[in-house]
Structure 1
Amino acid sequence: MNAIFLMLMGLGAMALGYFVYSKFICEKIFKVDPNFRTPAHEMQDGVDYVPTNKYILWGHHFTSVAGAAPIIGPAIAVIWGWVPAFLWVVFGTIFFAGVHDAGAIWASSRNKAKSIGALTGDIVGNRARSIFMIVIFLVLLMVNAVFAVVIAGQLIRFPSATIPVWGAIVVALIIGQLIYRKNMSLLLVTIVGVVALYGMIYIGPTLPLSLPEMVGPLSDNQTWIIMLFVYAAIASLLPVWMLLQPRDYINGIQLFIGLILLYGAVIISGPDVVAPAFNTDVPEGTPSLIPLLFVTIACGAISGFHGLVSSGTTSKQLDKEPDVRFVGYFGAVGEGSLALAAIIAATAGFATLADWQSIYHSFGQGGVSAFITGGANILQAGIGLDTVLSQTLLTVMVVLFAGTTMDTGLRLQRYIFQEWGSIYNIGWMQKAPPATLLAVGSCLLLAFGAGGDGSGGMLIWPLFGTTNQLLAGLTLLVITVMLVKLRRPMWYTLAPLVFLLIMTTLGLLIQLKSFYDKGDWFLFTMDLIVLVAAILVSLECSSALTKQLKANKANPAADEA
Structure 2
Amino acid sequence: MLSFIICLLLLIGGYFVYGNFVNNIFSPDDRETPAVRINDGVDYVVMPQWKLFLIQLLNIAGLGPIFGALQGALWGPVVFLWITFGTIFAGGVHDFFSGMMSERNDGASISEVCGIYLGHLMQNVMRVFSVVLLVMVGTVFAVGPAGLIVTLFGNSGVSGLLTNKEFWLWIILAYYFIATFISIDKIIGKVYPLFGICLIIMALGVAFGIFTKPEYVIPEIWANFRNMHPSATPVWSFMFITVACGAISGFHATQSPLMARCMKSEKQGHFVFYGAMVCEGVIALIWAAAGCSLYEVTGGLNTGLAEIMKNGQSAAIYDVCKKTMGGIGIALAMLGVIACPITSGDTAFRSARLTLADWFKIDQKAWKNRLLLCVPLLGVGAIVGHMDYSIVWRYFSWTNQTLAMIVLWTASMYLYKAKKNYWITAVPATFMSAVSMTYFFCASECLNLGTAVAYPVGIVLAVVFLGIFIHATRKQQTA
**TM-score interval, smaller chain:** 0.7 to 0.9
Deviation at 1:277, TM superposition (A): 3.0
- Name 2:243's counterpart in structure 1: 297
Kindly tell me: are residues 125 and 364 of structure 1, through their superposed partners in 2, closer, same or farther at Cα, counting changes over 3 Å? farther
The 5 A counterparts of 1:164-179 are none
Kindly tell me: are residues 346 and 281 of structure 1, through their superposed partners in 2, closer, same or farther at Cα, counting changes over 3 Å? closer
Amino acid of the structure 2 residue aligned with 1:91 = F
- Name 1:157's counterpart in structure 2: 151
Kindly tell me: are residues 44 and 6 of structure 1, through their superposed partners in 2, closer, same or farther at Cα, counting changes over 3 Å? same
Kindly tell me: are residues 514 and 120 of structure 1, through their superposed partners in 2, closer, same or farther at Cα, counting changes over 3 Å? closer
Structure 1 runs not aligned, ≥5 long: 161-207, 380-384, 451-455, 518-534, 556-561
Amino acid of the structure 1 residue aligned with 2:209 = A
CA displacement 1:176-200 (0-9 Å, x = unmatched)? xxxxxxxxxxxxxxxxxxxxxxxxx
Determine if the alignment matches structure 1 residue 102 to structure 2 residue 100: no
- Name 1:524's counterpart in structure 2: none
The 5 A counterparts of 1:321-336 are 321-336=266-281
C-alpha RMSD over aligned residues: 3.0
- Name 1:413's counterpart in structure 2: 352
- Name 1:245's counterpart in structure 2: 189
CA displacement 1:194-248 (0-9 Å, x = unmatched)? xxxxxxxxxxxxxx97874457xxx622222221111011011111111112222
Deviation at 1:459, TM superposition (A): 1.3
Kindly tell me: are residues 359 and 24 of structure 1, through their superposed partners in 2, closer, same or farther at Cα, counting changes over 3 Å? closer
SS at match of 1:239: coil
Quick check: 1:145–1:457 contact (8 Å CA) kept in 2?
no
- Name 2:71's counterpart in structure 1: 76
Amino acid of the structure 2 residue aligned with 1:49 = Y
Quick check: 2:74–2:305 contact (8 Å CA) kept in 1?
no
CA displacement 1:50-82 (0-9 Å, x = unmatched)? 111110001111101001121111211222222
Structure 2 runs not aligned, ≥5 long: 450-460
Amino acid of the structure 1 residue aligned with 2:125 = I
- Name 2:369's counterpart in structure 1: 431
Deviation at 1:155, TM superposition (A): 2.1
> Which of 321, 331, 340 is the aligned partner of 2:285?
340
Q: Distance in 2 between matches of 1:45 and 1:265?
A: 46
Kindly tell me: are residues 140 and 457 of structure 1, through their superposed partners in 2, closer, same or farther at Cα, counting changes over 3 Å? farther
- Name 1:482's counterpart in structure 2: 414
- Name 1:443's counterpart in structure 2: 381
Amino acid of the structure 1 residue aligned with 2:164 = D
Deviation at 1:25, TM superposition (A): 0.7
Kindly tell me: are residues 282 and 320 of structure 1, through their superposed partners in 2, closer, same or farther at Cα, counting changes over 3 Å? closer
- Name 2:323's counterpart in structure 1: 377
Q: Distance in 1 between matches of 2:10 and 2:320?
A: 24
Q: Distance in 1 between matches of 2:402 and 2:434?
A: 9
Quick check: 1:304–1:469 contact (8 Å CA) kept in 2?
yes
What is the aligned residue count?
460
Kindly tell me: are residues 16 and 159 of structure 1, through their superposed partners in 2, closer, same or farther at Cα, counting changes over 3 Å? farther
- Name 2:471's counterpart in structure 1: 546
Amino acid of the structure 2 residue aligned with 1:112 = D
Deviation at 1:128, TM superposition (A): 1.4
- Name 1:393's counterpart in structure 2: 332
Determine if the alignment matches structure 1 residue 263 to structure 2 residue 207: yes
Deviation at 1:514, TM superposition (A): 5.9
Amino acid of the structure 2 residue aligned with 1:237 = F
Normalized against structure 2, the TM-score is what? 0.88
Q: Distance in 2 between matches of 1:357 and 1:124?
A: 45
The 5 A counterparts of 1:276-315 are 277-278=224-225, 282-284=229-231, 286-311=232-257, 313-315=258-260
Deviation at 1:361, TM superposition (A): 4.7
- Name 2:218's counterpart in structure 1: 273
Kindly tell me: are residues 350 and 80 of structure 1, through their superposed partners in 2, closer, same or farther at Cα, counting changes over 3 Å? closer
The 5 A counterparts of 1:11-26 are 11-26=8-23
Kindly tell me: are residues 352 and 480 of structure 1, through their superposed partners in 2, closer, same or farther at Cα, counting changes over 3 Å? closer
Quick check: 2:82–2:240 contact (8 Å CA) kept in 1?
yes
Kindly tell me: are residues 220 and 69 of structure 1, through their superposed partners in 2, closer, same or farther at Cα, counting changes over 3 Å? same
Quick check: 1:274–1:347 contact (8 Å CA) kept in 2?
yes
Quick check: 2:76–2:302 contact (8 Å CA) kept in 1?
no
Deviation at 1:273, TM superposition (A): 3.5
Kindly tell me: are residues 429 and 247 of structure 1, through their superposed partners in 2, closer, same or farther at Cα, counting changes over 3 Å? closer
Q: Distance in 2 between matches of 1:89 and 1:9?
A: 12
Kindly tell me: are residues 280 and 249 of structure 1, through their superposed partners in 2, closer, same or farther at Cα, counting changes over 3 Å? closer
Quick check: 2:76–2:229 contact (8 Å CA) kept in 1?
no
Kindly tell me: are residues 356 and 419 of structure 1, through their superposed partners in 2, closer, same or farther at Cα, counting changes over 3 Å? same
Deviation at 1:336, TM superposition (A): 0.7
Deviation at 1:408, TM superposition (A): 0.7
SS at match of 1:290: coil
SS at match of 1:224: helix
Quick check: 2:77–2:219 contact (8 Å CA) kept in 1?
no
Quick check: 2:230–2:303 contact (8 Å CA) kept in 1?
no
Quick check: 1:418–1:430 contact (8 Å CA) kept in 2?
no
Q: Distance in 1 between matches of 2:200 and 2:108?
A: 30
- Name 2:458's counterpart in structure 1: none
Normalized against structure 1, the TM-score is what? 0.76
